[in-house]
Chain A
Amino acid sequence: MKLETTPKLTLFHCLNSFEETSSQIDGCEMKTVRMACSSMTKDIHLLKAFEAGADAVLVLVCPGKNCRHAEGGLRARKRVDYVKTILDAIGLDGRRLNIFNTTAKDKGSITEIIRNTIQDLQTMGPNPALNRLN
């Protein structure tokens, strides 16, 4: 299903992987959720973001060893993978949820990640769990 409305993105990020001031990217409506550490990425929050209307959810965490709490990024990745299996199983498509290692300074890479996500949504279409009732 092609995307006819402005894509809605929810972006979860740890303190070091993204700066909210640079968050506005043309062509999408973006909500950002700041986490003190990527280990706070929880399955329920990711799913709730889809329930709240996100077409895609991104999780940005610091690269491997840069995590201040050592294993935060690893935990986040495992939880993202778990939620992807749920999304696949219920037909929402696990590709709507992705995790990337970024540093706040590298604005170019972050913009590219967001642009690619918007582009992927053009083929995936909107969140299929929305606006089906009434």
Chain B
Amino acid sequence: MITASQKPINEIIGLVEPYKKVLILGCGTCVKTCFAGGEDEVAVLASALRLSFKKMARSVQIEEMTIERQCENEFIQEASESIKRNDAILSLACGAGVQALAKRFVKDVVLPGVNTTFIGIQERPGIFTEECSGCGNCGLATFGGVCPVTRCAKKLLNGPCGGSQKGVCEIHPDTPCAWHLIIERLTTLGQLDSLRTYIPPKNWNTSLSGGPRKLVREDHIL
């Protein structure tokens, strides 16, 4: 999933302040799972904004809505009536969702209510970890399903740096050493030998370093 965290409320107030009617639009998929932009977060933010504007003696109408996915036109459509009757949309989806709205509603103001952070998982309730950097050329098969591109602080591809202690990365006691995990996992799988293969320097052209990427599926284009 894409993880995100809500922007500080005062930053959000600053963003929506110029408008009289604001739609807070949640997304019911990734950002809901990480407690940043689902139905519940929309309701809490709407309530906080109402209280805040009342305190400032400002009359701002806040409408609340959450759609299943803000990155798909099919779902975005459901919000078009609400978008029409408001002056601005405060989207609680990830950056992809915000831009999908902006592309579709060219004349409407779309504001981001969250900071999009990374591709990750919920490791345990309330704790999310980064697992993939979307490098465009996945090597998880070699690394026993643990990504050193993302989870090794130095992005090393040919073994650990020598700074890890008791399975912990030297950058932070909270960070497991990715290479420790890779070796443990390959040992369990009986595939430790796969580490004998030299991994050449990574070609970052397939990553964001090569500029904005596009995924084309010819068989789905009409």
CA separation between A86 and B55, bound complex, in Å?
Answer: 14
Total number of A residues with any Cβ neighbor in B under 8 Å: 17
Contact B10 A132 (CB under 8 A): no
Residues from chain A with Cβ under 8 Å of B51 in the complex: 47, 50-51, 90, 92, 129
Q: How far apart are the CA atoms of A48 and B47 in the complex, in Å?
A: 7
Per-residue CB contact flags for chain A residues 122-134 toward chain B (1 = under 8 Å, else 0) read: 0000001110110
- The answer to the question of A44 belonging to the interface, with a C-beta cut-off of 8 Å to chain B, is yes
A43 within 8 A of B: yes
Instruction: Kindly provide the distance from the CB of B38 to the nearest chain A CB, expressed in whole angstroms.
Output: 12
Provided the pairs A44-B40, A86-B9, A89-B10 are in contact, do residues A51 and B55 lie with their beta carbons within 8 angstroms?
no
- Map CB proximity to B onto A71-94 as digits: 1 under 8 Å, 0 otherwise: 000000000000000100111100
Are A47's CB and B57's CB within 8 A?
Answer: no
In the complex, the answer to whether A132 meets B55 with C-beta atoms within 8 Å is yes
Whether, in the assembled complex, B48 has its beta carbon less than 8 Å from a beta carbon of chain A, the answer is yes
What residues on A are CB-neighbors of B50 within 8 Å? 51, 129
Interface presence of B54 (CB below 8 A): yes
Contacts of B205 in A (CB 8 A): none
Counting contact residues on chain B (CB < 8 A from A), the size range is: 10 to 19
A129-B53 Cα distance, complex, nearest whole Å: 8
**Chain B 25-54: CB-based contact to A (< 8 A → 1; otherwise 0):** 000000000000000100110011011101
The smallest C-beta distance from A45 to any residue of chain B, in angstroms, reads 10
In chain A, positions 1-56 with a C-beta closer than 8 Å to chain B are: 42-44, 47-48, 50-51
* Contacting residues, chain A, for B8 (C-beta < 8 A): 89
B191 part of interface (Cβ distance < 8 Å): no
**B59 is an interface residue with CB less than 8 A from chain A:** yes
Cβ contacts A to B, 21 pairs, < 8 Å: A42-B40, A44-B43, A44-B47, A47-B44, A51-B50, A86-B44, A89-B8, A89-B10, A90-B9, A90-B13, A90-B48, A90-B51, A90-B55, A91-B55, A92-B55, A129-B50, A129-B54, A129-B55, A132-B56, A132-B57, A133-B54
Point out residues on A near B: beta carbons under 8 Å: 42-44, 47-48, 50-51, 86, 89-92, 128-130, 132-133
